Structure 1
Amino acid sequence: MEQRVSLITVGVDDPETAAGFYEQLGWERVDSPDGVIAFDLIGQTLGLYPLSALADEIGIDVGTLGQGALTLSYNCRTKEDVAQVLSKAETFGAEVLKPASDVFWGGHHGYFRAPDGTIWEIAFNPFSKLGPDGAFRWNGY
């Protein structure tokens, strides 16, 4: 198995409403005939899929899903961008869980919960500069 993540699937109650939030943030969905609402990222795809259908596909009870702690992270190019992204997300219905603030290790971040329940960390890491195309690597480019 190669060391990568190709698709991040988020089980949501209402995929169209969830997709609307990401579209308001400026993301563009791509065609997908299989019931997944897909957004191509840099090197991965984020897929929104009905929660009950995801449980059926896996073969487990829907109540079992959503029990794991998980955050998705979006790294910004500048420290100032963190507060801007949090504000934009809040404008479109996200709940800011932690406002932009400095972190003990030298970075800057905050968290929001999207209307679909997904928790996002918005961060600036001065030690992991983004690539020219916005790609992230732990130790930077």
Structure 2
Amino acid sequence: MQPSISIITIGVDDLERAFAFYRTLFDISDDQIGAGEDHIAFFFDDGFSFVLFPREQIAQTAGKPVAIAGTPGFVLSHQAASPADVDDILRRVLVAGGAIITEGTQSEWGYSAYFEDSEGNVWELMAKPPAH
């Protein structure tokens, strides 16, 4: 895998407070911000995104029952070229000593999977859906 980190997602305790902080810090236009019910994303040049996500939900994504000490506070996301590449990387994760958190699944955002490296750090693999 040639790392191509396109999204950094950090866990926050107060989504509105974190949004206010980063909105001021980043000083970007409203059309570069996307918000969902459970997250806020800041979109930058070259396809890079910075996402705020509730810490409890990051714990769930990482397969942890609650956000306790040691629960990852961030997720690194690698943009793969295709769903097949996502699946290939997952096979290599196992060979390298990592663990699969969730197998590749299709959603409105594309094909994605989550894995844990040998030290418990969480990665998301994603392949965007084909353009129509």
Same fold (TM over 0.5): no
Structure with greater proportional helix content: 2
Report the structure, 1 or 2, having the larger strand content: 2
Higher relative contact order (CA 8 A, sep 6+): 2
Relative to the length of structure 1, the TM-score reads 0.41
Query: Under a length normalisation based on structure 2, what TM-score does the superposition of the two structures give?
Result: 0.44
- The structure with the larger Rg is 1
